A and B are shown apart, each in its own frame.
Chain A
């Protein structure tokens, strides 16, 4: 980035220059991110075990996000059902498969992706802010002086805790969204609860896709935010900037992983759900 600003007085930067600079930045960031990911995996297998570190992170990532995730997913469930109900009313006023279709969508995509976005917001910003303020107060340098790799010390416990707790929270989030959706359908469109709670459209492909998304997002959030936190520089402004980048980059990672996994599952289980 500094190279970009230095070279600009000599030759006026054009569009190609900007795109090239952005591309190089993206490539370098991607390579560093990959390095963090590989080292995290290495230390998960070979690193030291600190007693209680993972449990503490699980409490921080999981229990303390519970309220936030429940509130947002509860409202999301109500919104989705309300909008879908209006939409269906305009075409075919038949609500018999509404609950089954909603449940299928929740299991396959919405619970994991929307819950993952919520977690990326809360957990990602938290991780980056915490690690970032350790970097600017030189605690991370102190770790390196003690021959302790900050990735082993800081990222790995968050990585393991996030993979477990994301899965747990997504299952909970799906349950909350389904419950509020069922109540909305009952109140706004008179769909009986017995008709709404219909699991006939769910098969193993849906469950596997949903679980794959949970694990992928749970792995992506701490790696991306840990990378953003570790690359903090400057004082308090740098910490804020790291938290911002963590939120944006983890959300982008989730959206891209979602497109990837959804496409893969459509190709692998292409025929699912087409037999009612």
Chain B
């Protein structure tokens, strides 16, 4: 769909400035079209969710939750552990410069809970879960399984998209909680190993009163928003796959790019809104 927009514009372009402007316009139209399609998909999902009696397939939801959440736990834990260590390594010169050893726990906690853990978990989950989901849906599209569902009068949004949507959002929020805990653990031990800061004083800095549940809730609210973005983009690009095996590859590529851009752009606005 987006290809038709770009193809109709590019032949008209002569060269130089005109070609650049045409390419930029076509890219903008493509982005607008993808965002619009995701909004339409979101509206469909909400409408399906609100239907009485509920149409959610619990078996499909459980299967997806296991595949997405349980299976990505190891990757999230490894990433979080390394991230905590890296954060302390990077903070080490700053901490020494100001002689603020007691504040390391607070600083690591602030950065991890509010930004680092939600962001990096979102990136890893978008890579593992979002891309995988797109590949699965895209394969169903190119092998005409979705058409078969429609022929049987089964709504693909209710049967396939809704359980995946819920599963991705739940996965991201729970994985963020794990990442919070594990990366703080990694940071505490990196502080002990590199800066000779006792874990006890790290813990005191963490719980000394400057941080409260609001910071954790801030990060969780963000991961909820990121989950929506990842779920929508992966379901949208999966369902709009065209053209064989290379089409599936292109969809996966488009999903990870759209998820990463969406996550960072929305992160800014959510940070600003929550303050």
Give A contacts to B, CB under 8 Å: 67-68, 71-72, 75-76, 78-80, 82-83, 86-87, 90-91, 101, 104-105, 108-109, 113, 117-118, 121-122, 125-126, 128-130, 132-133, 136-137, 235-244, 247-248, 251-252, 255-256, 258-259, 262-263, 266, 272-274, 276
Q: Cβ of A247: which chain B residues have Cβ within 8 Å of it?
A: 127-128, 131, 256
Question: CB within 8 Å of A: which of B197-215?
Answer: 210
Shortest beta-carbon distance, A28 to chain B, in Å?
Answer: 17
**Any A CB within 8 A of the CB of B146:** no
Give B contacts to A, CB under 8 Å: 27, 75, 78-79, 82-83, 85-86, 89-90, 92-94, 96-97, 103, 107, 110-111, 114-115, 123-124, 126-128, 131-132, 134-136, 138-139, 142-143, 194, 210, 244-253, 256-257, 260-261, 264-265, 267-268, 271-272, 275
Task: State the 9 A-B residue pairs at the shortest beta-carbon distance, nearest first.
Answer: A240-B135, A129-B249, A247-B127, A273-B93, A133-B246, A236-B245, A243-B252, A244-B131, A237-B139
Q: Cβ of B134: which chain A residues have Cβ within 8 Å of it?
A: 240
Interface of A (DSSP majority class): helix
Q: Are B248 and A68 in contact (CB under 8 A)?
A: no
A101-B94, A117-B123, A243-B135 are known contacts. Are A236 and B194 too (CB-CB below 8 A)?
no
Q: Cβ of A236: which chain B residues have Cβ within 8 Å of it?
A: 138-139, 142-143, 244-245, 247-248
Q: Are B249 and A259 in contact (CB under 8 A)?
A: no
A-B CB contacts (within 8 Å), total count: 169
Q: Are B249 and A121 in contact (CB under 8 A)?
A: no
Q: Cβ of A109: which chain B residues have Cβ within 8 Å of it?
A: 86, 90
Q: Are A237 and B248 in contact (CB under 8 A)?
A: yes
How distant is the Cα of A255 from the Cα of B128 in the complex, in angstroms?
A: 15
Q: Are B131 and A243 in contact (CB under 8 A)?
A: yes
A82-B271, A236-B247, A237-B248 are known contacts. Are A122 and B111 too (CB-CB below 8 A)?
no
Task: Provide a sorted-by-A list of 15 A–B residue pairs whose CB atoms are within 8 angstroms.
Answer: A72-B265, A104-B93, A121-B123, A129-B250, A236-B142, A236-B244, A236-B245, A240-B138, A240-B251, A243-B135, A247-B256, A248-B128, A255-B83, A262-B90, A266-B194
Q: Which residue of A lies closest to B251 (CB)?
A: A240
How distant is the Cα of A239 from the Cα of B79 in the complex, in angstroms?
A: 25
How distant is the Cα of A255 from the Cα of B265 in the complex, in angstroms?
A: 22
Q: Cβ of A130: which chain B residues have Cβ within 8 Å of it?
A: 246, 249
How distant is the Cα of A105 from the Cα of B107 in the complex, in angstroms?
A: 15
How distant is the Cα of A109 from the Cα of B245 in the complex, in angstroms?
A: 37
How distant is the Cα of A235 from the Cα of B94 in the complex, in angstroms?
A: 51
Shortest beta-carbon distance, A252 to chain B, in Å?
Answer: 7
A236-B248, A248-B127 are known contacts. Are A256 and B82 too (CB-CB below 8 A)?
yes
How distant is the Cα of A258 from the Cα of B87 in the complex, in angstroms?
A: 11
A68-B261, A251-B127 are known contacts. Are A240 and B82 too (CB-CB below 8 A)?
no
A75-B267, A83-B271, A237-B136 are known contacts. Are A251 and B124 too (CB-CB below 8 A)?
yes
Task: Please pick, from A75, A133, A244, A274, the residue contacting B127 in the complex, using a CB distance under 8 A.
Answer: A244
Shortest beta-carbon distance, A267 to chain B, in Å?
Answer: 9
Q: Are B247 and A121 in contact (CB under 8 A)?
A: no
Q: Which one of A75, A82, A263 has the highest number of Cβ atoms from chain B below 10 Å of its Cβ?
A: A75
Q: Are A239 and B246 in contact (CB under 8 A)?
A: yes
Q: Are A118 and B252 in contact (CB under 8 A)?
A: no
A240-B248, A244-B131 are known contacts. Are A83 and B253 too (CB-CB below 8 A)?
no
A71-B265, A237-B248 are known contacts. Are A259 and B124 too (CB-CB below 8 A)?
no
Shortest beta-carbon distance, A58 to chain B, in Å?
Answer: 18
How distant is the Cα of A75 from the Cα of B142 in the complex, in angstroms?
A: 35
Q: Which one of A79, A126, A137, A274 has the highest number of Cβ atoms from chain B below 10 Å of its Cβ?
A: A79
Q: Cβ of B94: which chain A residues have Cβ within 8 Å of it?
A: 101, 273
A75-B268, A133-B246 are known contacts. Are A239 and B135 too (CB-CB below 8 A)?
yes
Q: Are A105 and B136 in contact (CB under 8 A)?
A: no
Q: Which residue of A lies closest to B24 (CB)?
A: A67
How distant is the Cα of A242 from the Cα of B110 in the complex, in angstroms?
A: 36
Q: Are A137 and B249 in contact (CB under 8 A)?
A: no
Q: Are A87 and B261 in contact (CB under 8 A)?
A: no
How distant is the Cα of A67 from the Cα of B26 in the complex, in angstroms?
A: 14
Shortest beta-carbon distance, A173 to chain B, in Å?
Answer: 12
Q: Are B127 and A137 in contact (CB under 8 A)?
A: no
Q: Cβ of A117: which chain B residues have Cβ within 8 Å of it?
A: 123
Q: Which residue of B lies closest to A273 (CB)?
A: B93
